[in-house]
Structure 1
């Protein structure tokens, strides 16, 4: 009963006119940004960070907006994936396998409608999981001390490095690069300057927002301009997304299975929507009686990855809100926003800021309905948005990014930083270094150092404290498994070859 009362207070907060407007804006902006190739939810959140600080939104209101952008962008990714065979981000790659063949067969409307319904199903199931699981996990996390948090951060970095696209070594290098950047400025005790190269402007460190916009927006624009992909003509001009009840009923089992799977994967630090969508698709294909039809326009091949990636997007909020560890690159940017608004995610968030947590839960219920209502009738508008030429879109992103950065501190030095960081982001993408580990290392670097110092202070310098408790022992085992994860497919192939 207490949970229902708290959820009721969350709905009361969300149904304020200004907060309903934020839910709508989040879903609408997320959908538009998500469907434009290369611009994902993390870019939109990063660009909007300065605006949120400037207008001084309440923490709960800011989280509502960013969450709407996040799960809205996961649906938006599917529009370009289905119509153009160009996924907005890697999380929509699996959607192209059957979505684009459906569009070529004259069933683009049905594919888009199934994507919307599957996104709604995945989002709704995952919100229920978030509501039930997060409070219990927060209570368990109260047993964490400095040593446990230090090892947890190592585990999160390892998982992100192991599970993001690219090889493990490149993922670890990216994570270490993020940790190095987080050490710029005065040390936590404020006694010595590190890596400032004599510049007073670096004594406070490098602003998170500068790094986020540089890595995501500027770096992505530079890569997109190099690719300068020609737009493919739409195979069908779509004005409405329609689907029969029989098709929805036939895919309901698929959507439920993929939603549960996606939520579990999304709750793991670093796993994210990409892995969830591929596993959801693979699972459905493996258990289907007509698996040969997958890849040729099977509507369940659209339902599975779309349910999984939207569910994973909401699942990524579990470690963020209960442990203070982002579950994805987008939630890492959201963490920056919450800290900037004087809210520290972690075990005490639900207790100290119930309006933030329950407002988010209620907004997700409302947002999923709003997303469904938006995308079915307005798909014609979104299709026209896909035709914005690169030469117009990319300079606009750069201009908005630079204006946003200058507005934070009125500093020309920040403009130089964002330019340099944007080049680094471009080079990382070009040579296959994943961005997510670098972001996580940057965001969690300070917290990691502070907890290590506290743990060593409590143990009088004895490093054994990092291995002393059952929680740290389990986490170290998980770290080892994470480092070995890329080897498992190779070992499986060798075992099969030996049996053959």
Structure 2
């Protein structure tokens, strides 16, 4: 408790507090604009934190994270276009409510649901992370190797319905992680005699290229610059009563647990939890046929669950060194850049910083909740932001950030190269999350594998005979082949039904 109070007092220092609040607002704005996101904001400000204190850096980065997830529902409700994948299912009932003249109520549900999900989930994360880290300290390199492998394959198994595409992206990430000097033999790997690559791929360049540059290029190419008009007169009043809350308490609680659980699972995140929570709310409803026509439960379910994923995703990042979603991959990158090692020892060696991250999420959630309630009628202005100015600023910050990370023009060339890689991947439908996750965890996988083999004196069977490691490996196998098996069984079932109907007609 003393560490938490110290962290809270550090956060409330004027500079830390002001910058955190500003980043929370910027994250909400980026989250509200389709094609952009709070994750993009983290990518852009990451190089700016190099010369800052660790406390100020993570106050800004985590504030941007919370604001980005919270603000993504705005466009989904007002124009039916999700600000990010976290609010895809919010469009299903949020936009129909706006068309019915209930925009104020839909926005209020989104604001309140976002706050409930973030607030409760971070309290759970604060209480549970220490205990999970204590358990994790009892694991060996065999379990950590299997855990990292499981994290990657779980993301691969959910990659746009195509395991092959997810595997391709993951292998590309693992290959990029191998570039540089081998830590044991000191041999050069895939450097092509370029001394700029001796230290490996700079994570900032990879993020700027595959994330920032790729997003700008593909959004511009797809013509995502015009937003439908919004009836601003429909945004007056709070539009929400205590009865609205109590009538939907069951949906709120169930969606909260779904968001926490999905957030905790490596690499899944809010993009999945909001869709699952929406489906569950529909199953629980007495009138499921009304879903999609503008019902309150649909918005409550999606916004509580996707924001609950924030606390859920931070738990494995802090306790296990495994990112819970795509944005916590970026936060782990920031930790690495600042010389920190996320994982079981992180809470022991950096207790104040760990509590600072928890406190920042909590305070940011409160600040953005109050701010969004007070400024709700101005939300349509966010959607009128001129994209040609936004894109120009993003590109300038991306190149400046890459250059400042190494003070070398080679970093700028890397950004351009990875931007091209990102565009090609987007064209062929290859998901970006497996690549980023594999790149971040690639070094750990190699290190844990070597340690496991070394400690076992060449005995590879320990990866399969230690119970927890075996469980992780079985989940890994299921994540890879489970979707294929289910697809084959469904295809066989459809064929049998088709053959049965043909025989009955004869």
Structure 1 range deviating more: 218-227 or 446-455: 446-455
**Which residue among 444, 452, 463 is the counterpart of 2:460?**
463
Matched, 1:306 2:303: yes
CA contact (8 A) 1:103 1:235 kept: no
Matched, 1:86 2:81: yes
SS of structure 2 residue aligned to 1:326 = coil
Which stretches in structure 2 are left out of the alignment for 5+ residues? 501-506
Deviation at 1:494, TM superposition (A): 6.9
Structure 1 residues 248 and 294: alpha-carbon distance in aligned structure 2, compared to 1, 3 A threshold: same
Once residues 412 and 491 of structure 2 are traced to their aligned partners in structure 1, the CA distance between those partners, rounded to angstroms, is 51
Once residues 241 and 215 of structure 1 are traced to their aligned partners in structure 2, the CA distance between those partners, rounded to angstroms, is 42
Matched, 1:328 2:325: yes
Once residues 216 and 459 of structure 2 are traced to their aligned partners in structure 1, the CA distance between those partners, rounded to angstroms, is 47
Residue 97 (structure 1) aligns with? 92
CA contact (8 A) 2:35 2:224 kept: no
Structure 1 range deviating more: 107-116 or 234-243: 234-243
Structure 1 residues 255 and 489: alpha-carbon distance in aligned structure 2, compared to 1, 3 A threshold: farther
SS of structure 1 residue aligned to 2:239 = coil
Residue 130 (structure 1) aligns with? 125
Structure 1 range deviating more: 151-160 or 70-79: 70-79
Once residues 92 and 236 of structure 1 are traced to their aligned partners in structure 2, the CA distance between those partners, rounded to angstroms, is 21
Matched, 1:257 2:254: yes
Once residues 33 and 171 of structure 2 are traced to their aligned partners in structure 1, the CA distance between those partners, rounded to angstroms, is 31
Question: 1:434-462 CA deviation, whole Å, 9 max, x = no partner?
Answer: 10000011111111111212222222322
SS of structure 1 residue aligned to 2:232 = coil
Once residues 494 and 199 of structure 1 are traced to their aligned partners in structure 2, the CA distance between those partners, rounded to angstroms, is 50
CA contact (8 A) 2:93 2:298 kept: yes
Residue 357 (structure 1) aligns with? 354
Once residues 208 and 242 of structure 1 are traced to their aligned partners in structure 2, the CA distance between those partners, rounded to angstroms, is 44
Once residues 34 and 240 of structure 1 are traced to their aligned partners in structure 2, the CA distance between those partners, rounded to angstroms, is 22
Once residues 339 and 255 of structure 2 are traced to their aligned partners in structure 1, the CA distance between those partners, rounded to angstroms, is 36
CA contact (8 A) 1:255 1:304 kept: yes
Structure 1 range deviating more: 302-311 or 164-173: 164-173
Deviation at 1:69, TM superposition (A): 1.4
Once residues 240 and 22 of structure 1 are traced to their aligned partners in structure 2, the CA distance between those partners, rounded to angstroms, is 30
**Which residue among 377, 380, 400 is the counterpart of 1:403?**
400
CA contact (8 A) 1:241 1:376 kept: no
**Which residue among 267, 272, 275 is the counterpart of 1:275?**
272
Once residues 236 and 366 of structure 2 are traced to their aligned partners in structure 1, the CA distance between those partners, rounded to angstroms, is 18
CA contact (8 A) 2:39 2:68 kept: no
CA contact (8 A) 2:230 2:380 kept: no
**Which residue among 290, 293, 302 is the counterpart of 2:290?**
293
CA contact (8 A) 2:46 2:61 kept: no
Question: 1:183-220 CA deviation, whole Å, 9 max, x = no partner?
Answer: 11111126211111111111111100100111110011
CA contact (8 A) 1:323 1:345 kept: yes
**TM-score of the pair, normalised by structure 2:** 0.93
SS of structure 2 residue aligned to 1:163 = coil
Residue 452 (structure 1) aligns with? 449
SS of structure 2 residue aligned to 1:462 = coil
